[in-house]
Amino acid sequence: MDNPVADREYATDPSRTHHDGAVHDGTAHNGAVSTDLSIANGALIALLPPASPGFDARQLIKALGKGIKGSRTLQLNEARQLIVAFAAKRVSSAQMASAMVLMRARGETAAEVAGITLGLRDIIATDWRQLDVDVDWPVYAGKRGQLPWLLLAAKALAADGVRIMLHGDNLSLPHRCHVADCLAALDITVAHTPEQVKVALESHHLVYVAVDSFLPVMASCRALHQELGLRSLLQMAVRCVNPTNAKSGLRSYFHSGLDKHYAAIGELMCANSPSCVSTLAIFKGVQGEAEWNPRVSTQVTMLGANLSTCEPGAVVEDDKNVGRYQLEIPTLVAAALGINGANHTDMAELSTAWEGENPPNERPQQGLSRANTYRDNTSRDSASRGNVSCDSANYWSVIGTILLVKLALRDSPLLKDSGHTMAASVQPGASAECDAALVEAITQAEDLWRQRHLSSPLTRQCQVLTEESIPQEVA
């Protein structure tokens, strides 16, 4: 039962909070968010989204936790104001922790996650949004006992001119092998400011940024997660934040059903903020990381403006229209060993796989692509194909990840009409057109890798193992 006396005492005690729910710091509060709030990286928050004069975090917590019959979810704008107020220290750590736990226990809605994400975007310094980035690539999950082979895909794409910003948090789950832990092995630049990111992109087209560099408030959220021993919607929201307004992005997940959640979040963000419109490829990655799993068929949800099926007249010219479409791509390697096998976390393996780069004037030899073999072999069961080694699985993980990024960039044979429409009936074996498009997309990804890394140990080993695993009549 509510205690109005306690509420009045809590509200009038200056050692606790002001009437608007703000943490008392000895300064006057009139409901407006301060414009001289200094954040950890020295940037100044000149403008925060409106937290209404009547904003009271306790009312939001009461709405979430009033009971089975009386509680409700937060509206998008309420969640947005909550995280902005927390960043501005108008919401205490106890209040934020309570809200996070209550939403977690009930299950976060797409509107709540979208609101938190938009609030995080609101407090990012504007210099980040002025960067020229092609692909927003969040890498927050980390992997258990496995290296982030996605880094080889990122380097290959960057060498082809694609401007990529990786961002993650290796402090959140330190027991996992994170992308940040392996950057030195591949000589990938770590940047902390927009100026450093700009230089790295101009020089190498690839850069990594820790989340605390553009969202210092995440350090406080991380501390709450560790103190509580729980995850929260912040971990999903930070993956969706797209700090540079990149035109394309990847969203990966592990638990079934989160693809629909991510798509709904993306649609809500686009509806409430035009700058959020970008093309997303949403898929289930290896252990939740933004890396293709070649062992299983992968359902990819495409989300973006002016995106539709190839039905006649289906393309919508209004760029504000956000379309959602799904396609399924079969496993690239059946019975692949090593994805969930013994630990492989020697970072030297990554640099070794990247070495052996071809001379600039050397092109891949004709006939080396395995796409045709894949096409002829996909109908066979895994037993007839035999077990494929960890090296081959890692190779196909790189190729599949390149394929995904090409989809997000709308530069794939699986897209028609200048990237506006998906190929017809993109399901395995659905049609000759579908199969041809899949083979062409895999060939495109392989060619991008092989044109510089035909002599890579990873490529050579995959070539031998794949040929040995294919029945003679097919090969």
Q: CA-based angle 372:375:381, to the nearest 5? A: 130
Structure tokens at 461: 């080993």
For 337-363, how does the pLDDT look when each residue is reduced to its tens digit (9 = 90+)? Answer: 444 444 556 777 888 778 755 443 343
Question: Higher confidence at residue 243 or residue 318?
Answer: 243
Does the pLDDT at position 300 exceed 60? Answer: yes
Of 119-128, 246-255, 391-400, 450-459, the range with the lowest mean pLDDT is 450-459
Structure tokens at 444: 């495109």
How far from 176 is each of 104, 146, 252, 379, CA to CA, in Å?
23, 9, 17, 36
For 413-453, how does the pLDDT look when each residue is reduced to its tens digit (9 = 90+)? Answer: 888 755 555 554 445 555 677 778 888 888 899 889 888 76
Mean pLDDT of the chain: 75
Structure tokens at 21: 């729910």
| Pair 88, 31: CB distance under 8 Å | no
pLDDT at 24: 32
Q: Is 313 helix (H, G, I), strand (E, B) or coil?
A: coil
| Pair 454, 365: CB distance under 8 Å | yes
pLDDT at 427: 53
Confidence grade of residue 52 (pLDDT, cut at 50, 70, 90)? low
How far from 263 is each of 44, 133, 243, 423, CA to CA, in Å?
32, 22, 18, 20
Helices (H) and strands (E) in the chain, counts: 18, 12
Residue 57: left if φ>0, alpha if ψ -120 to 50, beta else—which one? alpha
Antiparallel, parallel or unpaired: β 44-45 and 279-284:
unpaired
| pTM attached to this predicted model | 0.78
